[in-house]
Chains A and B, each alone.
Chain A
């Protein structure tokens, strides 16, 4: 039993932490207020190999393991949660499935430049009237000869406004239910593909999301990722990994809020002493630290299992469920420790709290995670 980071994983942590402190934290507040995509920071992430962390080096990635990826995600999100999700989507929801399900030709065009971070990917499963229930999907891809014609609408697509290619899920055979959906790699330049303006969000405002429209988009067969009818399998396996990314993001947000709460509590005085002398404050900080550690271990475990090729759906769901709900509690307590200052934009904790809220919703709501875990528990 060894529940520590390796030397290499530790170095990844240090490198990412330094980058977050120097490049992300000083700018995150401005990006949030301006709803601004951090293009320069994303370019630097790419130079550090962080846009394809667990993709082999020969395919443009950094060739590291998934524990390193989780550690990197935590640290980047500690600096800026919006930047974190841009990274998570490109890594987990785009590069990972193309690596796992792509043909050698697809990997040349659709993986290498994305793992290098020269281009940006997105993942489009959710629709205006179908989120967690993929069986309700309306987007269709009708096969005509060697081509598919894609029609439909996808919304809440992170990286949607910037993406060079979007992994789109569509029904190819309605009669087959889950086994009747397929995945497609859709370049942003194809005719009939348009995007709405960016969504106005509560948090993670440095990342962009929008609605995507597909009107008679013609796709050659070679743009299909995985076999026909394999779309649901691609989506679910992808989300098992994606949930590790979001869990790590939640962890990073919570860690940032916690560190700021500790720093503030040490400086702030009340009734003649620093508020750290009061048990009400001490115990909040102790609970925050404890819950963060619990979440971190759940995240590391899921990533470790992924590295070993062990099925980890329930473990990813537990990590994501616990980390995201923990994050909301911890960021809320961080505001409480800050008092009135926690409620104004002079400090970062109000942003952390807003950023935390989405982690309980996207890539499977807490309710969906509980369904996944309960199914696993009751099976056993």
Chain B
């Protein structure tokens, strides 16, 4: 057991921390209000190596591992959840290409994703009528000569309008069910790939969420990512890792709620003393801290298992479920501690509450996490 982390892990976390304090934090409230994608900050993340933390150095990544990645997301989310999710999705796309891509695909995509030359990578799995159940996916890809033609629409695509590359899942064999789904790399600007609606979200507002429309979008055979018909395997592997990203984001949110609450509770006086001296407030802080530490440990554990090449699906689902539910409770408590000030945008906690709300929904709802965990639990016999 070693809970200190390696030098590399601590260095990556420190880099992310410095950026969070100096750059991301001060800009977060305004970016949220204006729902403005922070292009410059994203490029800076690229320069710091934070857009491809767990991607091999040979392809331009930082090659710092899954634990360092989780620690970095926690720090960025502490300052700005929107930026953290933008960062997390690009990292996830990079990792997925690094794992399943051909040498050619890796050489083309990874350096551009890692450096921030491409502002983002996107993950095109969800559809208007198919979220947690990819089996009901209706986007299709038909072979015409040696090219695939994609038609359909994708929903809730983070950074979809900014992406240099989108991983798009489509049916390549309509009769093969789950085994007829294939992943494709579709580059931004490909004719037939259109950006639909920009979603107006309650939280993570400075991240971009759009729908994508594929209309006779033609890609070469070399755009297939992984094996034909094995797209779901690619998606599930990516999502296991993606859940560590969201668990990290939620853990950072929780920490931000705790820190803001501590600061406020020490300053705010009532009945002649700081409200931190009332047990009703102090005990809420104690519960937030306990939940934070548990969430952090679960997240880092899942990341450490992933890094060691061991199974981590159950641990990632547990971390994601626990951290996201705890972040929501903590953000709500933080608003309560701030009283009326918690309800206005002068303090960060109302934003945290809005940002936390999505964490129990995306990259697998809490219900999906529980299904995953229950499946593991019941197959192990306890």
Which A residues lie at the B interface, using CB under 8 A? Answer: 1-6, 9, 67, 258-259, 262-263, 266, 276, 279, 282-283, 285-287, 289-291, 293-295, 297-298, 300-301, 304-305, 314-315, 318, 321-322, 367, 369-371, 373-374, 376-378, 380
Chain A residues contacting B294 (CB-CB under 8 Å) are 294-295, 297-298, 318, 322
B378 & A266 in contact (Cβ 8 Å cutoff)? yes
Chain B residues contacting A9 (CB-CB under 8 Å) are 1
B370 & A1 in contact (Cβ 8 Å cutoff)? no
A369 & B286 in contact (Cβ 8 Å cutoff)? yes
Q: Does any Cβ of A come within 8 Å of B257's Cβ? A: no
A289-B373, A289-B377 as given contacts; A294 in contact with B1, CB under 8 Å: no
Bits for B255-280, please: 1 = Cβ < 8 Å to A, else 0.
00010001001100000000010010
Bits for B42-68, please: 1 = Cβ < 8 Å to A, else 0.
000000000000000000000000010
A1 & B5 in contact (Cβ 8 Å cutoff)? yes
A1 & B297 in contact (Cβ 8 Å cutoff)? no
The distance from the CB of A244 to the nearest CB of chain B, in whole angstroms, is: 14
The distance from the CB of A73 to the nearest CB of chain B, in whole angstroms, is: 16
Residue of B with least CB distance to A380? B262
The distance from the CB of A378 to the nearest CB of chain B, in whole angstroms, is: 5
Query: 9 additional contacts, CB 8 Å, given A1-B9, A286-B321, A314-B289?
Result: A3-B300, A266-B378, A266-B381, A285-B373, A285-B377, A285-B378, A322-B290, A373-B285, A374-B276
Q: Does any Cβ of A come within 8 Å of B322's Cβ? A: yes
Chain B residues contacting A373 (CB-CB under 8 Å) are 285-286, 289-290
Q: Does any Cβ of A come within 8 Å of B362's Cβ? A: no
With beta carbons under 8 angstroms apart, the residue of A262, A282, A298, A371 that contacts B297 is: A298
Bits for B1-20, please: 1 = Cβ < 8 Å to A, else 0.
11111100100000000000
The distance from the CB of B247 to the nearest CB of chain A, in whole angstroms, is: 12
A289-B318, A294-B322, A374-B285 as given contacts; A318 in contact with B293, CB under 8 Å: yes
A1 & B382 in contact (Cβ 8 Å cutoff)? no
Chain A residues contacting B367 (CB-CB under 8 Å) are 279, 283
A283 & B283 in contact (Cβ 8 Å cutoff)? no
A286-B373, A370-B282, A378-B266 as given contacts; A262 in contact with B381, CB under 8 Å: yes
B303 & A1 in contact (Cβ 8 Å cutoff)? yes
The distance from the CB of B40 to the nearest CB of chain A, in whole angstroms, is: 32
Residue of A with least CB distance to B295? A294
A5 & B1 in contact (Cβ 8 Å cutoff)? yes
Chain A residues contacting B297 (CB-CB under 8 Å) are 3, 294, 297-298, 301
Chain B residues contacting A314 (CB-CB under 8 Å) are 289
Q: Does any Cβ of A come within 8 Å of B74's Cβ? A: no
Chain A residues contacting B4 (CB-CB under 8 Å) are 1
A293-B298, A294-B298 as given contacts; A3 in contact with B282, CB under 8 Å: no
A290 & B67 in contact (Cβ 8 Å cutoff)? no
Residue of A with least CB distance to B289? A377
A2-B304, A378-B276 as given contacts; A262 in contact with B3, CB under 8 Å: no
A321 & B2 in contact (Cβ 8 Å cutoff)? no
Q: What is the CA–CA distance of A279 and B374 in the complex, to the nearest angstrom? A: 9
Q: Does any Cβ of A come within 8 Å of B301's Cβ? A: yes
A321 & B286 in contact (Cβ 8 Å cutoff)? yes
A4-B1, A294-B294 as given contacts; A282 in contact with B286, CB under 8 Å: no
B301 & A370 in contact (Cβ 8 Å cutoff)? no
A263 & B382 in contact (Cβ 8 Å cutoff)? yes
B285 & A377 in contact (Cβ 8 Å cutoff)? yes
Q: What is the CA–CA distance of A127 and B5 in the complex, to the nearest angstrom? A: 44
Q: Does any Cβ of A come within 8 Å of B287's Cβ? A: yes
Chain B residues contacting A285 (CB-CB under 8 Å) are 373-374, 377-378
Q: Does any Cβ of A come within 8 Å of B371's Cβ? A: yes
Residue of A with least CB distance to B318? A290
A290 & B303 in contact (Cβ 8 Å cutoff)? no
With beta carbons under 8 angstroms apart, the residue of A291, A300, A321 that contacts B290 is: A321
Chain B residues contacting A287 (CB-CB under 8 Å) are 370
Q: What is the CA–CA distance of A9 and B2 in the complex, to the nearest angstrom? A: 14
A378 & B377 in contact (Cβ 8 Å cutoff)? no
A1 & B262 in contact (Cβ 8 Å cutoff)? no
With beta carbons under 8 angstroms apart, the residue of B1, B276, B293 that contacts A3 is: B1
A374 & B282 in contact (Cβ 8 Å cutoff)? yes
Residue of B with least CB distance to A366? B283
With beta carbons under 8 angstroms apart, the residue of B67, B286, B300, B371 that contacts A377 is: B286
A282 & B378 in contact (Cβ 8 Å cutoff)? yes
**A to B CB contacts below 8 Å, 10 in the list:** A1-B304, A3-B297, A298-B293, A300-B1, A318-B289, A367-B283, A373-B289, A373-B290, A374-B283, A377-B285
Q: Which of chain B's residues 343-382 have a Cβ closer than 8 Å to chain A?
A: 367, 369-371, 373-374, 377-378, 381-382
Q: What is the CA–CA distance of A295 and B374 in the complex, to the nearest angstrom? A: 18
A1-B300, A282-B371, A285-B374 as given contacts; A290 in contact with B322, CB under 8 Å: yes
Residue of B with least CB distance to A255? B382
With beta carbons under 8 angstroms apart, the residue of A1, A369, A371 that contacts B6 is: A1
B300 & A262 in contact (Cβ 8 Å cutoff)? no
Chain A residues contacting B3 (CB-CB under 8 Å) are 1, 3, 301, 304-305
Bits for B294-312, please: 1 = Cβ < 8 Å to A, else 0.
1101101101110110000
The distance from the CB of A277 to the nearest CB of chain B, in whole angstroms, is: 10
A3-B1, A282-B371, A373-B286 as given contacts; A290 in contact with B301, CB under 8 Å: no
Per CB-CB distance, the 9 closest pairs between chain A and chain B, nearest first, are: A282-B374, A374-B282, A373-B286, A286-B373, A297-B297, A370-B286, A262-B382, A286-B370, A294-B294
Chain B residues contacting A276 (CB-CB under 8 Å) are 374, 378
The distance from the CB of B27 to the nearest CB of chain A, in whole angstroms, is: 25
B382 & A283 in contact (Cβ 8 Å cutoff)? no
Q: Which of chain B's residues 316-351 have a Cβ closer than 8 Å to chain A?
A: 318, 321-322
With beta carbons under 8 angstroms apart, the residue of B1, B2, B290, B300 that contacts A318 is: B290
Q: What is the CA–CA distance of A367 and B318 in the complex, to the nearest angstrom? A: 27
B377 & A262 in contact (Cβ 8 Å cutoff)? yes
Chain A residues contacting B321 (CB-CB under 8 Å) are 286, 290
Chain B residues contacting A3 (CB-CB under 8 Å) are 1, 3, 297, 300-301, 304
Chain B residues contacting A1 (CB-CB under 8 Å) are 2-6, 9, 67, 300, 303-304, 307
Chain A residues contacting B370 (CB-CB under 8 Å) are 279, 282-283, 286-287
A1-B300, A371-B282 as given contacts; A6 in contact with B1, CB under 8 Å: yes
With beta carbons under 8 angstroms apart, the residue of A67, A367, A371, A378 that contacts B1 is: A67
The distance from the CB of B342 to the nearest CB of chain A, in whole angstroms, is: 18
Residue of A with least CB distance to B293? A318
B374 & A286 in contact (Cβ 8 Å cutoff)? yes
Q: What is the CA–CA distance of A291 and B315 in the complex, to the nearest angstrom? A: 12
A297 & B301 in contact (Cβ 8 Å cutoff)? yes
Chain A residues contacting B283 (CB-CB under 8 Å) are 367, 370, 374
Q: Which of chain B's residues 230-274 have a Cβ closer than 8 Å to chain A?
A: 258, 262, 265-266
The distance from the CB of A70 to the nearest CB of chain B, in whole angstroms, is: 11
Residue of B with least CB distance to A300? B1
The distance from the CB of A376 to the nearest CB of chain B, in whole angstroms, is: 8
